[in-house]
Amino acid sequence: MIRLIVLHTAPYAALGVLIGVGYFAALGWNVRLYAGHGAGWRALLFHLSRLAVAVVAFTLCAKQGAAPLLASFAGFLATRAVSINYYRVALRRNP
């Protein structure tokens, strides 16, 4: 029974990792747009698009049930932890 649950939710965890990779890569691009000169509206549109894609992806997972939503969010949070650690190390090397 538990193997079946794990086999059913593992693809959603992988999907959460992919959502997280896309989200945090887009966040990096968004930061560059906000830091650049004259990119106010483009940066805002990109920011709202990034959030909308994440909301839609998690909504589709939620329609499959609670376990797929939690698994995809766990994958997203794992990617977040890796991303934060990566940028923290990069800031220490290049202050």
Crossing angle (nearest 10°) for helices 66-93 and 40-64 = 140
List the domain range (segments joined by +) for residue 65. 2-93
Q: Tokens in use for 62?
A: 């939620």
Q: Tokens in use for 57?
A: 């992806």
Quote the pTM value. Answer: 0.84
Provide the residue count of the chain: 95
Per-residue pLDDT of the chain (95 residues; tens, 9 = 90+): 777 777 888 999 999 999 999 999 999 888 888 888 767 788 889 899 999 999 999 999 999 999 999 999 999 999 999 998 888 887 788 86
- CB-CB neighbours of 3 under 10 Å: 7
- Count: domains in the chain: 1
